[in-house]
Amino acid sequence: MKEVEQWAKRMTEAMGQVILGKERVMEKLLTTLLCGGHLLLEDNPGVGKTILARALAASLGGKFMRIQCTPDLLPSDILGVSVYVPALKKFKFHAGPIMTHVLLTDEINRATPRSQSALLEAMESGEITLEGRTASLPDPFFLIATENPMEFEGTFPLPEAQKDRFFMTLSMGYPPEEAELALMGKQKGLSHPVESLKAVSSVEELKKIKAMVNQYPLTKEIEDKILQLVQLTRSDSRLELGASPRASSALYKGIQALHLIRGEQADPYDLLKELALPVLQKRIKLRTEALLNGLREEHIIHSILEQMERENSS
């Protein structure tokens, strides 16, 4: 299983040439990729979300596409469309940007629900249905969606069903001062440094690494702690909606992947506590009273983790 750790080190070092001071974010990005999930990046503009997605695709040797979501975006702009070719006297299908390995959907909450729903089947089953035909997406297909948490005008909030399909939600935040200084120096040229990144892996190698992660077992003790965590979200009086079975599966897979990425010396229970917020924060829903009292999802999750600590130590 040392191969997973070595692969992750290669990938983070390659992406780290253009994403500075964000090692933990890159680890969780790779965790989501290895688990076959999709990622929601919720952060302010200009912190490097697009560069992170491009750096991943370049380091992986995969194809990258980007969609800028707007209210006039149509499902056909995402999936593709058939165009009649008079010379051939038949329709020819032109694939949309979804036919890629890494797809960045920028400001997904600016797309209408109709266009957002075009992504649901792709995220869940790795295929799309168009004009009565089903087509498989490239393997891997990894969707990275972004949201700006500061702007709400002209947006369409993601429904609970779609938020639950994102494996993890991350925030990059601003880089440390020394990293920002180094970034300024790297971007003095006419082109961005990400354009010169070389592949350090391949799509085929990724498939082998994913298979290794899937075979890595967790102990009964950590399984019980995962179940304890999700059960506590379902019984918490401050929550209208607790974590789904998809959440417990995501926590299990996430610990498998992150444990191997960091090396087997990592403590699985520490990893569970670290993954609880990014995995659960979009999968729970607060009651109105809790919101009016100033509580947020992170407060509830931290509170539940503290409750687990007390129960497990008594």
CATH architecture of 216-314: Orthogonal Bundle (1.10)
The per-residue pLDDT for range 126-171, each reduced to its tens digit, is 888 877 778 889 999 999 999 877 666 668 888 887 888 899 999 9
Cis ω on the peptide bond leading into residue 278 (within 30° of 0)? no
- Boundaries of every domain in the chain: 1-185, 216-314
Residue 226 binned pLDDT confidence (cut-offs 50, 70, 90): very high
From CA 139, how far away is CA 127, in angstroms rounded? 10
Which segment of 24-28, 198-202, 262-266 scores lowest on mean pLDDT? 262-266
Q: What is the pLDDT of residue 47?
A: 82
Say yes or no to pLDDT of 191 above 70. Answer: no
Mean pLDDT for the stretch of residues 38-62: 91
Say yes or no to pLDDT of 188 above 80. Answer: no
Share of the chain above pLDDT 70, in %: 96
* The two structure tokens encoding residue 147: 């949201």
Say yes or no to pLDDT of 13 above 90. Answer: yes
Say yes or no to pLDDT of 7 above 90. Answer: yes
H-run or E-run covering 148: none
Torsion of CA 270, 273, 21, 19, to 10 degrees: 110
Q: Does domain 1-185 have CATH number 1.10.150.80?
A: no
- Give the burial class of 62: count Cβ atoms within 10 A of its Cβ; 0-12 exposed, 13-18 middle, 19 or more buried: buried
The per-residue pLDDT for range 100-123, each reduced to its tens digit, is 999 999 999 999 988 888 888 788
From CA 205, how far away is CA 101, in angstroms rounded? 14
Residue 190 binned pLDDT confidence (cut-offs 50, 70, 90): low
Closest to 107 in 3D by CA, of 71, 72, 147: 147
Q: What is the pLDDT of residue 128?
A: 85
pTM across the whole model: 0.92
Mean pLDDT for the stretch of residues 279-307: 95
